[in-house]
Each structure stands twice: as C-alpha cells, then as structure tokens.
Chain A
Amino acid sequence: MEISDLSVTDLQARLRARELSPLDALDAIESRIAAVDPQVQAYLSRDLEAARSEAERADVTLPLGGVPIGIKDVINVTGQPCTAGSKMLESYRAPYDATVIAKLRAAGAIPFGRLNMDEFAMGSSTENSAFHPTRNPWDLTRIPGGSSGGSAAAVAAREAFAALGSDTGGSIRQPAALCGCVGLKPTYGRVSRYGLVAFASSLDQIGPLARTTRDCGLLLNAISGRDPMDSTSLDEPVGDCTALLGHDINGERRFRLGIPKEYFVDGMDPQVRAAVEAAIKHCESLGAELVEVSLPHTEFAVGVYYIIATAEASANLARFDGVRYGHRAEAPKDLLDHYKRTREEGFGGEVKRRIILGTYVLSSGYYDAYYLRAQKVRTLIRRDFTAAFEKVDALVCPTSPDLAFKLGERTDDPLRMYLADIFTIAANLAGICGVSVPCGFGSSETDGVRLPIGLQFLGKPFDEARLLQVAHAYEQSTGWHKASPPL
C-alpha cells in the first residue's frame, strides 16, 4: 500500500508511531499529484513550500497533527489564492484565514492545495470552473460532480487524504457519490462560514470529504463550533461526532431508518435504484428497523431552491464591483460602465444566468410571487422533515439519481443540470445534516466503465454522531469505500 492510499486515521497512527513523518505524508501526496493530476485536474494551485515549512514543525499528537488537507478554492487561507473558480478572483490573495482553516491549524492539520470547483460553487459538474474542468477518476471522459468536484476527485484519486468542500444544494454529497468517496454536509449552524466566499447564505455549509466516515467525523470535530464572526453559527455542544462509531445499530434500542417514498421516483437510473435498494436491505440485515415515511413537498424542493439560492446569490455577488478586490474593467467611461463591464468580464455564463434569475425574483412586483412564496414552501419542506424525524433516527435514500455523466452532456440545458440535485437540495432547505457513502457501482451503457453510486443518510439537526453511526455501520460491513479508481 502506498502512503497516499492511507486513510487519515491510519496515517495518524503511522505519524504518531514515528513510522512516517509529516514531510513523508506531504511528499507522498505531492508525488501522487504529479503522477495523476495531469489527467484528473483536481487542483488549481499548490504552495508546497508553505506546506513543507508547516510539516516540519507539525505536532503529530494533535487530533489532525501533520495531516495535509486539500481545500476547495472558495475558503480563504492566508497568502494563498482563493479564486472561487472565477476569473473575477484570479489574482486575489487571501489576507486572512477562514475560521475553519484556523481550526484545522489548531488541530495540527496542514492546509495544502487549492481544489477546483464550479464558479462560485454554482454547478453540479465542475464544468463551470473558469479555469478547466476536473475529470472523474473512474472515467476521465466524465464529470466528477460538483460544485466540490476537485475535492471529491482528489480524495478518490488518492491525491488528497481528505479535503474541505462547501455544500449549498448538494455540492459535497453529490460529487462524493459520483467519485466514490464519503462527503458530509453538517447541520446549518454547525460550522462557521467566516472566510467562505458566500453563495447562498441561508444554505451554505462547509464540510469534509474523505475516504471513510471516521475521517469525515475527525475533520468535522476539528472545524465545528460557534464563531462570533458568523452569527448563524450556533452554540450547540460540539461533542465528539465519532463517539458512536462502532456502536451496534442493533443495540438495546434498534436504529430506526426512514425510507422517504418520494425519493424513489421514475427517471432515476435503474442501477442507482438497485444499488440503493440493496443497501437498504443490508442496513436491515445489520439490525436497523425500516420505516416508510413521506416527505410530501419533495417535488417542490428544486423549484424553491433555484429561487432562494439565486436570490441570495444575486445579493451576495453584488460585492464584486471591481473596487476593493477582484477584476476591474479597463478604462471605464463612467461608473455604470465600470460596474457593468467589470461584471460582464469577470463572471462566467452560469453565474450571470443565476444573478439574472435571482435579481428578477427579488425585483419589484415579483418578490411576493416568487421569493416570498418560495420561503413559505421552504417552511413546508422543513416541517416534512421535522415530522419524519419524530418517527425515525435518520433517513436513507440515493444521493444522486444518475451515474456520473459525460463532459458536455448537460451544459446546454441548465434545468436538466439543476434536476441532478433533486435528492440533496431539501437537506439544505431544511438545515439538516447529510452524508453520502459509496454503495456500489453501475456501469455506463456505452462503454461499460465502472462508476460509483452513493447512498445518502440524512440526520436530525446537530445529530451528526448518530448519522455517522449508521453510515459507518453500513460502510464497514460492505467495504465499498475501499475500492480505488484505475489510475
């Protein structure tokens, strides 16, 4: 086994036993990147010098001591680029550490490498990166999912031990599913967003992508907690979200797992359906009690999301005015021309499309019909989950209705691309936590290549420990997470 194949947990054991040094770990990742990233293209930039000097003084006794962690290029790390996948921020250098980065450093981790993404986290394929697309490590002609496609591809391709991503409508869980790794979206308010380039502030959460549920739990432990710099972060006890790993789901009280019937719709890939149904049976065989539940407003989630998320984005992205940072148009003839050309030149097509939609649904005469109505339907979607969680401990469903699709296959059809998020969006609207774990493979109908399938567990707010308990029980008894792509 190569060093780069180790999980974070196993790497730490070797670091603490002094069998490996943090520099060995970093060098192993760097040489793996050199070998496979020319094909996968998960990284946008790396600062090996900075990481090496941190590795030299790393304290391996800390919870993540000496572990290099890849960072989605939307989270500020002092002195590093933070492009958000956009020409708008191509020359920006972060002047401060995001709270999650300060917390990772306090836990001994080494932020290393900037990972590709859809521009401003808007997309489900990473094709909206202004710089280059990232390839799925299982089939280089296919997308890795998005928007945290670089993070998922790097973890799956063994060119990062773990990574941070951000999830506004599924941007951690969907690429984790399509690349065959584990991706966790924490509860809204669990993790500070200070230093995250904002997309839709009522939905955004930062979370980990890793090779195992335990590794995701270790990263979540490190980054969680109330932060005075983000007033939406809540003062809930952080605890240890790995505390229940290995606890039997068939214990004194059987784990109750809800199957939302609206999540098994026509039109999903039959291979995804078969793998997820087999996974649910497997959970039953481990002792979980299966309960059918209904989330009756599921069909409205995508519509609600694309109103609320674009409205919030149009407001958040108003800050890109070419004044204090970011791109500025040359020789504007007046201030209006300065704004309009700066934003025309700096933003890509999908970002412009969403700003237009978001501006429209907030504009005079349309606010009540679109935005306010969407916020009310959002209340109903939240209530669906609250009611379901009175009956069950967690929900289980597919992460994505499809296998990874070909590059370019959906770029002309935004609505079809938006519908790829159908199973992940509601968790963001409701603010609950969710995790995707590998649950098998399908094969592409054209060339028979093996492509990963993701199983999604959704948990109660601030109940990540139980969410990871059931995901871990499934993962450890099947071993799908051990498969690695043929690179």
Chain B
Amino acid sequence: MSPELDVRYVANLARIDLSEAEIAQFQSQLGRVLAYVEQLNQVDVSHVEPTAHANEIDNVFRSDETKPGLEKRAALANAPHSANGLVMVTKVVE
C-alpha cells in the first residue's frame, strides 16, 4: 500500500464539497497520516483473523414484536423541511 490518496475523488465519494484550500491541506496532512500507518506493513498478519469488535458475539436475536416508536410529530420536529406530516426532500426525479 502506498499513499495514493486523491482527496478530490474521495470527497466526491463521501458527498462533501471541499474548497481548493481544504483539498490541498488535507492532501498533505492525510499523506503524512498514511505514511505513518505504513508501519502496519511490518506486521505479519498472514494467519490472523480480523477483529470487527471486541466482544465475540454472533447473532443477537429478540422476539419480533411491535412496540410504540416516536410519535409522528416528534419524529418530524427536527426535519429541516416538512409539510402535511411528511419530510420534504430535494427533487430526485426529472
């Protein structure tokens, strides 16, 4: 792995606009961070299983029962734009 990070390309994947100044700054700062994490290449991981999180639990089940959730009004109270009991969104079809 070598630092091939293209900040402009990745920012598009992450759906964030960045200014030209931010792109240049992140390119150099994250380049240094990636150079630092190169050290992980020194570790032999050929027979090691990955850890997704610290507790080894597999599936967690619960009974499939309906329970009261947020009231509609409470759920909509934080929406930046709502009308007629619905969240209004930016147009997605032409």
Binding site for B on A (CB under 8 A): 91-93, 95-96, 188-189, 201-203, 228, 231-232, 234, 297, 299-300, 302-304, 306-307, 314, 318, 321-328, 332, 334-336, 338-341, 343-344, 347, 349, 352-353, 355-357, 359-360, 363, 366, 369-370, 372-380, 382, 414-415, 418, 429-432, 461
Which residues of chain A come closer than 8 Å to B70, judged between CB atoms?
95-96
B7 with A356: CB separation less than 8 A = yes
Q: Smallest CB–CB gap between B60 and chain A, Å? A: 4
Query: Given the known A-B contacts A93-B78, A357-B33, A375-B52, are A380 and B18 also in contact in the complex, defined by CB atoms under 8 Å?
Result: no
State the CA gap A168–B69 with chains docked (Å): 29
Tell me if B40 and A356 are in contact (CB < 8 A).
Answer: no
Known pairs A95-B77, A300-B39; A360 contacts B90 (CB<8 A): no
Question: CB-CB < 8 A to A375: which residues of B?
Answer: 50-52
Q: How far is the CA of A369 from the CA of B45 in the complex (A)?
A: 11
**Known pairs A92-B78, A303-B37, A360-B5; A379 contacts B51 (CB<8 A):** yes
Size of interface on B: residues with Cβ below 8 Å to A: 50
Interface pair A379/B50, CB less than 8 Å apart: yes
A376–B78 CB distance below 8 A: no
Instruction: Give chain B's interface secondary structure class.
Output: loop
Most chain-A CB neighbours within 10 Å: which of B22, B34, B37, B79?
B37
- Beta-carbon contact of B13 and A363 below 8 Å: yes
Q: Is B84 an interface residue (CB 8 A)?
A: no
B87 contacts chain A at the CB level, 8 A cutoff? yes
Bound CA span A429–B53, Å: 8
**B33 engages A376 (CB within 8 Å):** no
B18-A377 in contact (CB<8A): no
Q: Are B26 and A431 in contact (CB under 8 A)?
A: no
Evaluate contact between B39 and A314: CB separation under 8 angstroms.
no
A93-B77, A328-B81 given; name 9 further pairs at CB < 8 Å: A307-B37, A318-B15, A324-B78, A326-B78, A334-B90, A352-B18, A370-B37, A375-B51, A382-B51
CB nearest to A96 among chain B residues: B70
Instruction: Contact check, A382 vs B54: say whether CB atoms are below 8 A apart.
Output: yes
Give every chain A residue within 8 A of B18 (Cβ-Cβ): 344, 352
The A/B interface has a contact count, at CB < 8 Å, of 167
Task: Tell me, in angstroms, the Cα distance from A328 to B78 when the chains sit together.
Answer: 11
Docked Cα-Cα span, A223 to B1, in Å, equals: 43
- B23 to chain A: closest residue by CB: A356
Residues on the B chain within 8 Å of A372, using CB: 50
Within 8 A of A (CB), among B24-81: 26, 29-30, 32-34, 36-37, 39-41, 43, 45, 48-55, 57, 60, 62, 70, 74-75, 77-81
- Asked if B43 and A380 make an inter-chain contact with CB atoms under 8 angstroms apart, the answer reads yes
Most A-side CB within 10 Å, residue of B14, B26, B32, B39:
B14
Contact flag A335-B79 (CB < 8 Å), given A232-B53, A234-B57, A356-B16: no
Asked if residues A299 and B49 are in contact (CB atoms below 8 Å), the reply is: no
CB distance from B62 to the nearest CB of A (A): 6
Partner of B91, one of A92, A228, A321, A334: A334
Residues of B within 8 A of A380 (CB): 43, 45, 48
CB contact between B55 and one of A189, A302, A322 (< 8 Å): that residue:
A189
- Find chain A residues with CB under 8 A from B53 CB: 188, 201-203, 232, 431
Contacts of B37 in A (CB 8 A): 303, 306-307, 370, 374
- Chain B residues with Cβ below 8 Å from A314 are 14
**What is the distance, in angstroms, from B40's C-beta to the closest C-beta of chain A?**
5
Which residues of chain B are near A189, meaning CB under 8 Å? 54-55
Can you sample 7 A-B contacts with CB below 8 Å? A328-B80, A340-B17, A355-B14, A356-B7, A373-B1, A376-B45, A377-B45
